[in-house]
Amino acid sequence: MRIILLLPLVLLGCAEDTTQPRGPAAILRLDRMKDQVLRADWAGLAATNLDACAGPNDAVCAESQALRARGCRMRAEATSDGAARRPLLDCAVEGNRAALAASTATPPAEAAMWREALAWSLFERRQVQPRAAICADNTALREQADQVGSRFLSASARLTEVAESCGAPDARCGALAETRRLLVPAPPGDARWASMAAAASGESRRLGCR
């Protein structure tokens, strides 16, 4: 009788804990993906099939998603064809989002790198989006850029918010002033900062901002 009573407890103790990292197969796949990074096999990384992560503590899945996202973004950067870049940048955005959603058990510094990668992926995807989709990406970009403290991306999001009429009309002058503030000081040798500052000043004049 004692054996019968204890049996459910034994079975309960063997139940799968889906909040824990994946098993050996997922770990081996992650090792292969790391090797692909070392070999710059971006096409192979981008083509890797991954299941959805098991939960917020699935560190193995989180890192795998981040690596596939990196492969997709590297492939996107290697082509100038907007139609070809867009699905690759979709993959990069979705992969980095999946990685962050499963990153509770990930070292904060590594998760911060994934968040920055997500911000840059949104920035690059925004450039090839149809106009109707720009504002949604821009709102997400601003949120991620502000979290990682990227002055360039934060300024870009605010300028686009005004240029594409994504925000409230009465917030436009404030957004442009914040854009110019974020761009000072500019790093030497990067003309994008001066170009964006000039565009913000031009928008301010056009709108009659003080």
Question: Quick one: pLDDT band at residue 113, thresholds 50, 70, 90?
Answer: very high
Residue 8's pLDDT band, with cuts at 50, 70 and 90, is very low
Spatial separation of the C-alpha atoms in residues 104 and 101, rounded to whole Å: 8
> Tell me, what's the pLDDT at 22?
55
Q: Indicate the domain borders of the chain.
A: 25-128, 132-210
Residue 1 has pLDDT above 60, yes or no: no
Label residues 56-92 b or e (16+ Cβ within 10 Å = b). Answer: ebbbbbbbbbbbbbbbbbbbbeeeeeeeebbebbebb
**Mean pLDDT within 8-37:** 67
- Residue 21: pLDDT band with limits 50, 70, 90: very low
pLDDT digits (tens, 9 = 90+) for 44-74: 999 999 999 999 999 999 999 999 999 999 9
Confidence of residue 15 (pLDDT cuts 50, 70, 90): very low
Contact 203, 159 (CB under 8 A): yes
Contacts 24+ apart (CB under 8 A), 20-29: 20/54, 20/57, 20/58, 21/57, 21/58, 21/59, 21/60, 21/61, 21/105, 22/54, 22/58, 22/60, 22/61, 26/60, 26/61, 26/64, 27/60, 29/64
* Residue whose pair of structure tokens reads 């019968």 in the numeric block: 4
Query: Which of 14-28, 32-46, 52-66, 111-125 is the least confident region?
Result: 14-28
8 A C-beta contact, residue 176 and residue 190: no
Confidence at 23, pLDDT banded by 50, 70, 90: confident
Task: Quick: pLDDT tens for 152-168.
Answer: 999 999 999 999 999 99
Please give the C-alpha separations between residue 175 and each of 30, 80, 93, 107, 208, in angstroms, as whole numbers: 42, 31, 25, 34, 13
